[in-house]
Amino acid sequence: MRARGVARSLAMAWIGLLAAGIAPARAREAPDSSRAPGVEAEQREAADDEGSRPEEEDLVDEASRSDPFEGLNRDIFAFNRGADRYLFDPITRGYQHVMPAPGRHAIYRVFQNLDSPVILANHMLQFRVVDAAVTTTRFALNTSLGLGGLFDPAADWFQVYRREGDFGQTLARYGTPSGPFLMLPVFGPSTVRDVFGDVVDILADPVSYLLGPWRWWTIVLGGGEGLTTREAHIDELHELEEGSLDFYSSLRSAYLQSRDAMVREARESAVRGITTARSH
């Protein structure tokens, strides 16, 4: 999803997510296989600690939890499911059929590597000093030794694991409320805050400016990122659907919990970075 101007960025995001069929990995409901062992446990402990502090505000505010637009959201969700069933799932399964798993994983890693500059910018805005250093190190190693991200030597050889970051998370880090939960056509679950954050991240992506506006390769790149993102998470989404009495409610809950965890991670990481800096 590479963009330059507002109109082009929205168009490219639409094209990319036409292949994805749901908000990209930032819904990041599926765990990243490259994460360090124990990281998720540490995050859960941090979340428990945060939750035990009554003075802390709810990170996912009541406006989003109450889902004031539920009727409209469910109608859009029904449309998205139809698009998934008749368009996006067949495309994704076809991609899985023609591309071996190692190739799919390598292409997915390339797109993750291309996201590194935007992630780094958000780490810096959040004062996540350690995470910014990790993201910089990963980008340097995977771009050079990893041949542009086809491989992940940062994690495989040096145990330097991926850290996520986006502008919606940055806004939440500084207390911006999430606003109501939204189900967007094709794009999938979001909130008012995260929609704005996505637009900022798209406009800030330096790859957009390197490729130039409205070129065929930007369309291919945007669609390719959406396709690989959907392919990486399609099984988890189907498992969630099969195990849910109300798939809409389950997806909404999973998304909000994921965003809540990311905001807590940002706050905890910033505190650790400040503590580390002071100790030196």
Lookup: tokens for 52: 């035990």
Distance CA 83, CA 88 (A): 6
Distance CA 153, CA 146 (A): 6
Amino acid at position 267, single letter: R
Mean pLDDT rounded to a whole number for the chain: 79
Residue 199 confidence (pLDDT): 92
pLDDT band at 203 (very low <50, low <70, confident <90, very high): confident
Lookup: tokens for 243: 């195990």
Distance CA 20, CA 240 (A): 17
Domain ranges of the chain: 6-135+162-279
H/E stretch holding 181 reads: strand 181-184
Closest CA to 131 of 278, 280, 272: 272
Residue 202 confidence (pLDDT): 86
- On whether the pTM is more than 0.85, the answer is no
Tens-digit pLDDT profile for residues 251-265: 999 999 999 999 998
Tens-digit pLDDT profile for residues 121-151: 999 999 999 999 999 999 999 999 999 999 9
Distance CA 265, CA 160 (A): 17
Distance CA 188, CA 77 (A): 8
Distance CA 232, CA 105 (A): 8
DSSP 43-81: HHHHHHHHHT-TTSPPSS-HHHHH-TTHHHHHHHHHHHH
Distance CA 111, CA 154 (A): 16
Closest CA to 57 of 176, 167, 165, 168: 176
Closest CA to 194 of 56, 63, 31: 63
Tens-digit pLDDT profile for residues 164-180: 999 999 999 999 999 99
